[in-house]
Amino acid sequence: MSKQQPQRPKARLPRGLGDVSDGDVTDRQEMIATITAVYRRYGFQPLETPVLEYLDALGKFLPDVDAPGEGVFALRDDDEQWLALRYDLTAPLARFVAEHRNDLTLPYRRFQVGPVFRQEKPGPGRFRQFYQCDFDTVGSRSMAVEAEACALLSEALEALGIGRGAYEIRINNRKVLNGVLANAAVAEGDSPEATARRSHVLRSVDKYDRVGMDGVRLLLGPGRKDDSGDFTAGVGLSEAQIDLVVGFVTAGSGAGSRGEVLDRLRSLVGDAPEGKAGVDELDTVDQLLTAMGIGSDVVTVDPTVVRGLDYYTGPVFEAVLTEGSFGSVAAGGRYDDLVRRFTGQDVPACGASIGVDRLLTALRHQGKLDASGAAGPVVVTVMDRQELPRYQAMVAGLRAAGVAAEMYLGNKGIGDQLKYADRRRSPLAVIAGSNEFGDGTVVVKNLLYGKEVSQGITDRAEWLAAADVQQTIPAADLVAYIQRLLAGPAAQQ
């Protein structure tokens, strides 16, 4: 009777998750460093919060989610309390401020970078774990916060090489749409039913970029079936009510200046107090942006921007790339009620989040990043295993000088070692055998430059004779020579 073999686990990723390696990790780190340098210039300080929070502390604010706890990954703690992976970085910030409000200097300006998790249907470019890069100001009602947020997003995108004309910052105000809905008698008052109905309208309008105006009309009315056959229930508005909401959504179409769009919005909100307050707030933001020299070519008033998250209470904004089909790469807004959930006290707040992974993909697609990944380390090959201490000393000397380097640790011959260095995208390889050790020399092979010159050379002797492809130098000069090569042509003159 044979023993049953133990069943091996299958190597597989959970749906909606992805591994990130090599160049992607390096590019992400460099991009985040560029963005957070801008955050620091604006006076924001770093904060880290745990990836796990109590479920009730996170609250239910995700778009397109109707059941409490749905949309998040949750588990019970050993004390039977529900914990959940954070779905954004804003709800944990509200918990942090509420918990430490007596120790914080307000306004409190923080930035945070980290992964967030959403239990949503995965799709192309839509993952269940993704990185966000947030900045927030807590404790100020001034519309200067919104104006600075728009200016900061603009500066961050340009720091990454996205020039004027290749992006837009679009701003709107939830209060304006609420005023329009009040005029249309859609959802008056603060009852749970009215609040839920307004949220349903907001989520429908927020899908404008994905479903178009015809799709929005269906979502505001009887409902919409998508290409896969899934049906989304509609708000159930009348045609007259839908026309008024659509008039609001299209108020920015063919827009001129921010002021011209604001004039159209004033006519739509009429005498609705909340709507008028929303337009006035946008007008203040417009004046502040103008004072900073930021015109309508950079920041526009766009009524289609409403954002799906339910905690926004006033201005909302997003950064959109106008080249390609990437759409929004950053978004945010004012959320004056989020901290009050914990304290019962009014604590105004506003902030934005840059979608790191989406923006990274966009930058690579636009040719602003090298898709092949970052350069690897200098590889010191091993021709004589009896001389390992000498090879290790070379590597140690390079590392001590700040050069990324490694000694080949496999058991292949020199040809395969050089192939290994190529696959590692190593810029240089160091070669030394008994002859070189006897002469006190080493051979430095310029792998990247060798690839370039080989494109126009077919004769091996001619290739070896090409300047800087392969040089024999004194072993004592190895570190200085490699530093000079890695510094570029200017350092070699």
Give how far Cα 293 sits from Cα of 74, 302, 373, Å: 46, 19, 37
Q: What is the pLDDT of residue 68?
A: 42
CA 406 to chain centre: 32
Q: What is the pLDDT of residue 429?
A: 96
379-492 fold: Rossmann fold (3.40.50)
Residues 58-77 have a mean pLDDT of 68
**3.40.50.1820, 3.40.50.300, 3.30.930.10, 3.40.1360.10: CATH of 17-141+336-374:** 3.30.930.10
In angstroms, rounded to a whole number, what is the distance separating the alpha carbons of residues 361 and 28?
Answer: 10
Residue-wise pLDDT tens digits, 99-118: 999 999 999 999 999 999 99
Q: What is the pLDDT of residue 16?
A: 87
Which residues are CB-neighbours of 458 under 8 A, at least 6 positions away?
A: none
Cβ-contact 125, 358 below 8 angstroms = yes
Q: What is the pLDDT of residue 65?
A: 44
Stretch among 265-279, 438-452, 470-484 having the lowest mean pLDDT: 438-452
Residue-wise pLDDT tens digits, 293-305: 999 999 999 988 8
Q: What is the pLDDT of residue 2?
A: 62
In angstroms, rounded to a whole number, what is the distance separating the alpha carbons of residues 484 and 493?
Answer: 10
Residues 150-155 have a mean pLDDT of 97
Stretch among 143-152, 195-204, 434-443 having the lowest mean pLDDT: 195-204
Residue-wise pLDDT tens digits, 251-273: 766 667 899 899 888 888 888 89
Q: Which residue has the higher pLDDT, 59 or 350?
A: 350
Q: Is the pLDDT of residue 28 over 70?
A: yes
Cβ-contact 333, 302 below 8 angstroms = no
Domain boundaries, given as residue ranges, for the chain: 17-141+336-374, 379-492
Residue-wise pLDDT tens digits, 339-391: 998 999 889 999 999 999 889 988 888 887 765 556 889 999 999 999 999 99
Q: What is the pLDDT of residue 493?
A: 45
Q: Is the pLDDT of residue 123 over 50?
A: yes
- Both tokens of residue 125? 């470019």
Residue 203 amino acid letter: R
Percent over 70 (pLDDT), the chain? 89
Task: Report cis status (omega within 30 of 0) of the bond before 107.
Answer: yes
Residue-wise pLDDT tens digits, 322-343: 887 778 899 999 999 889 989 9
Q: Is the pLDDT of residue 97 over 70?
A: yes
Q: Which residue has the higher pLDDT, 74 or 146?
A: 146
Stretch among 75-89, 161-175, 209-223 having the lowest mean pLDDT: 209-223
- Both tokens of residue 462? 């001619």
Picking from 132, 122, 101, the residue whose alpha carbon sits closest to that of residue 309 is 132
Residue 196 amino acid letter: A
Residues 77-90 have a mean pLDDT of 91
Picking from 286, 101, 318, 102, the residue whose alpha carbon sits closest to that of residue 209 is 318
